Amino acid sequence: MVFLGMSRTEKNVDLKKKVMAKKCDPEEAWTFLDGFQRFLKYCEVKNLREKTIKNYKENFGRFSTYIEESTSYQYIYELTQYDIDNFVLYLKGFGMRDTSVNTYLIGLRTVLNFWIDQQQCLRLKVKLCKVDKQAKTTYSDEELYKLLRKPNILKCDFSTFRNWVIINFFLATGVRVSTLIHLKIEDIDFNFDRILLRYTKNRKSMTIPMSGQLKHVLEEYMKYRKGKPSEYLFCNMYGEQMTLDAVTHAIAGFNRSRGVNRSSLHAFRHTFAKKCVMNGVNVFVLQRLMGHSDITVTKEYIELYAEDLAYNIEKYNPLDTLGNQKMVRPKPESKQTRKKISMQR
């Protein structure tokens, strides 16, 4: 006898029956607060990072407020597709950009999926808003020249020199600030010119090459930083690990001191990607350097900076590059060779 699995329709009907049964048995039904607390425990079991859990809390806080203001629901099973769709309009009512709305929707979708798996909620669809792709913010060459001007080590304090080194590191590697603050001295391999990134977004450690210029900067920095191999590479005045907020404020202050109003840390990552694209770096190499799990994310940079590539076309276009080199022309045929050819005919 062959047993066939349930179809998608049958599964949905079965789920609906079990969810609706919660009305008859309130003890089995979860309130929104109880349901979210269970979700947080689930996150802890999965060993999600504190930052990720914090984002879920912030996102759900907004959804919880919406439920209280717009409905009289007490239990999760009362949610309908209308409530999810109306939540989108609720968020847009605050003047949120579509990208911000999607951030809340992605968080909500994860929570809903957990509730669905626990048979506390109907299978509801969370559709993201369509967003037009916009050019990512980058630093101009003029701004970079100001920021990369080396401070006088004999006159400046340690924090100023450290901030300058951090900017060099951002531009040379394109790492995220969360990765940077977790770097340790032992992760910098001066013998083989490479850097080990232990803390990454996709939780996969990776090794990237260290350029000659960055190596020189870091070697000089270590003369003043000193410290044990197990200590953090970029530290505060007390030798402790810098926080994300500390790096944000430090670089913002450094940029203002150089006459640069822009202070986005992630803009350094975008600038790194743009410069790589402008210099003709292979998309697969760029994916590796950026640490993207999905190459489609890397391809977005290629598409966004396609217009800028036109200004740099002569540096990597095969016809132009070959034209700038001395072509080795074949030697003309001798009279004797031409005579032999004509005789063979």
The pLDDT tens digits for 101-146 are: 999 999 999 999 999 999 998 899 999 998 776 667 889 999 999 9
Predicted pLDDT at 3: 43
Alpha helix ranges (H) inside 21-157? 32-45, 50-70, 81-92, 98-117, 141-147
Q: Which residues of the chain have pLDDT under 70?
A: 1-26, 133-135, 302-345
Predicted pLDDT at 273: 85
Q: Which residues contact 330 (CB under 8 A, 6 or more apart)?
A: none
Task: For the domain covering 141-320, report its CATH number.
Answer: 1.10.443.10
Give 193-246 pLDDT, tens digit per residue: 999 999 888 788 899 999 999 999 999 999 999 999 999 999 998 889 999 999
Predicted pLDDT at 295: 75
Predicted pLDDT at 26: 67
Return the domain boundaries, the chain: 8-117, 141-320
Predicted pLDDT at 76: 92
Q: What is the reported pTM?
A: 0.69
DSSP one-letter string for 293-335 = SSHHHHHHHHHHTHHHHGGGHHHH-HHHHHHTS---PPPPPPH
**How do beta strands 206-209 and 194-197 pair?**
antiparallel
Task: For the domain covering 8-117, report its CATH number.
Answer: 1.10.150.130
